[in-house]
Structures are given as C-alpha cells and as structure tokens.
C-alpha cells in the first residue's frame, strides 16, 4: 500500500500544486504580489507589528498566495471546505445582502470568521497565521470581477476564449494574461498605478466587503457577452478595468489588515516555520 509519505505521492502532489498555481490562482501570483506591495505602503505601525509577530520574515506578498498554493493539499479542509471561500455568487440585478451565503459558506463568511480569529486572544498562533494569510487573499480575490460570480458559468470557468493563439478559460484570462500581457514587472505595476493616480490612502469605507462585491459584480456584467477571441480592443478595455481593481485590491488589503490587526492581541509563540500548515488542516474560519 502506498502511504501519504511515499516519494511518488509527494511528487504527484508537487506537480499538481504547480499546475494549480499556474492555472487557478485568482489574479495570478503577479496580481496578488502587486496588491500586497501596495498594501505594504499603507500598513499602520500596529498592523505591521502584528504581521511580523505572526509570519516573521515572510513577505506579505508570499502570504497572499498561500491560500491558492494550498488548493492541492489533500486534507479535507482544503478539498471539501476551503474552495468555497475564494468567491461569492451574486446573480445579475441582485445584491449580496439580499442573497447571503450558501450553507457551505463563501468568501464573506470566511473573511468575517478570520477576522474573529485574529481578534480572539484565545486563538492559537497557528489559527491566527491561517486567518491572516487566507483573509488577505480573500480581500484581494473579491476585487477581481469574476470572483463575484453570476451563478451560471462558475465565474467564467465554463467559458473558453482564445488569446494570442492560446485557448483558456475566461476566468484564467482575467487571472493572469490580462496583467502579464502588459509586459510590466511587479515594481513597474506599482509605479504605473501610482503614475495614473489610482493609488490613495485607505479609508474606513474600504473595509466593507459588500461594497467590494457590488463593484465587482457591476464590472462583471460589462464583460458579457464574452467574445470567443480576445482582440486588442477587448484586451485594452480589460486592462483598464484591471488596473482600477488591482489598485483597490492593494488599498483594501491595507484597510482590512489595519482595521482587524489594530484590535488584535499580540501573537504568542515563535514565528511560524515554513511547513507549519502541514500540521494544521482542521480549522474552520467560522468556528
């Protein structure tokens, strides 16, 4: 019998993790990294201190993609529960507050749960590390328009398009090529958004998930009907919208972190080692 520690199993998991990272990450690594770099510029001293207490020298950018990297982990938490925490469903013409979350939960219920963990003095450091990493990721996910799905095409995952000769889902186009096709590096993206006057200081209104969702859902509706081939005009329009959403992804990441972590108790214990999450996996953000 092959055990979970067998070399073949570990190699298979690693391969699947790389596939998932390349093809299923919301905003892609570049988008999450840029949003996190923007957030770093606007962290309060208290939030910055709490983050360092929890994740040590790990960068905010690295923390922001952790929840996507964990998608391939075979543990029940990641395979049966956490997937629903990356998105919400809001049909056209409806508001999130009128619909609410399904029984399995969604990005909003998870985000509220993670905030409770981060402000709970009884929560363990491991629980708080998970809450920080996953919560940050959710804030950024919800700024991507297809993470406020319409309930008909799995956030664009059921629609295939062609972009520069490559076939991909419409969701994947919005995750990665819409950003990488500019040719801008991570630092150049931040500079570009600043030069376009899209960056600003966070405000209290930036902590409201329902506002984020309303904006994403409204933008989502402008993307339909989806063209089979992504031409230059479609790409230009998508990149303009993506710039605005990526800028607020960073601004709202900082707003959420500042709001939650300024009320959080000091973290206990040592900074987490890189493999801490392999010992976790039984946490539910709603508990």
Tokens of 172: 């994947």
Position 282 pLDDT exceeds 50: no
Position 20 pLDDT exceeds 90: no
Out of 1.10.575.10, 3.20.20.140, 1.10.10.60, 3.40.50.2300, select the CATH number for domain 28-279: 1.10.575.10
| pLDDT averaged over every residue in the chain | 88
Nearest to 140 by CA among 56, 280, 30, 287: 30
pLDDT for 229-281, tens place per residue?
Answer: 999 999 999 999 999 999 999 999 999 999 999 877 765 544 444 444 444 44
Element (H, E) at 149: strand 148-149
Interval 60-81 mean pLDDT: 95
Spatial distance between the Cα atoms of 280 and 265, rounded to a whole number of angstroms: 21
Residue 229, burial from CB neighbour count under 10 angstroms (0-12, 13-18, 19+):
exposed
- The pLDDT of residue 268 is 54
Spatial distance between the Cα atoms of 76 and 78, rounded to a whole number of angstroms: 5
- The pLDDT of residue 17 is 39
**Whole-prediction pTM:** 0.85
Spatial distance between the Cα atoms of 18 and 40, rounded to a whole number of angstroms: 27
The domain spans of the chain are 28-279
Element (H, E) at 1: none
């Amino acid at each position: 019998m092959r055990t979970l520690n067998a070399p073949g199993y570990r190699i298979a998991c690693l391969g699947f993790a790389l596939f998932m990272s390349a093809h299923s990450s919301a905003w892609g690594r570049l988008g999450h990294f840029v949003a996190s770099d923007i957030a770093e510029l606007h962290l309060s001293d208290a939030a910055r201190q709490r983050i360092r207490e929890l994740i040590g020298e790990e960068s905010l950018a690295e923390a922001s993609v952790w929840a996507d990297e964990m998608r391939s982990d075979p543990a029940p938490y990641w395979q049966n529960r956490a997937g629903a925490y990356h998105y919400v469903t809001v049909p056209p013409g409806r508001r999130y507050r009128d619909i609410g979350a399904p029984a399995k939960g969604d990005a909003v219920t998870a985000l509220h749960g993670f905030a409770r963990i981060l402000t709970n003095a009884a929560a363990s450091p491991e629980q708080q590390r998970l809450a920080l990493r996953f919560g940050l990721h959710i804030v950024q996910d919800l700024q991507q328009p297809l993470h406020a799905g319409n309930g008909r095409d799995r956030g664009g995952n059921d629609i295939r398009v062609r972009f520069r000769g490559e076939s991909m889902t419409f969701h994947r186009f919005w995750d990665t090529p819409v950003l990488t096709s500019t040719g801008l590096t991570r630092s150049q993206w931040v500079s570009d958004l600043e030069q376009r006057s899209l960056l600003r200081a966070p405000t209290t209104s930036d902590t409201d998930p329902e506002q984020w969702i309303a904006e994403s859902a409204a933008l989502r509706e402008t993307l339909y009907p989806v063209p089979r081939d992504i031409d230059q005009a479609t790409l230009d329009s998508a990149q303009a919208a993506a710039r605005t959403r990526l800028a607020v992804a960073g601004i709202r990441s900082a707003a959420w972190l500042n709001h939650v972590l300024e009320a959080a108790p000091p973290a206990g214990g040592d900074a987490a080692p890189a493999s801490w999450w392999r010992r976790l996996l039984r946490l539910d953000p709603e508990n």
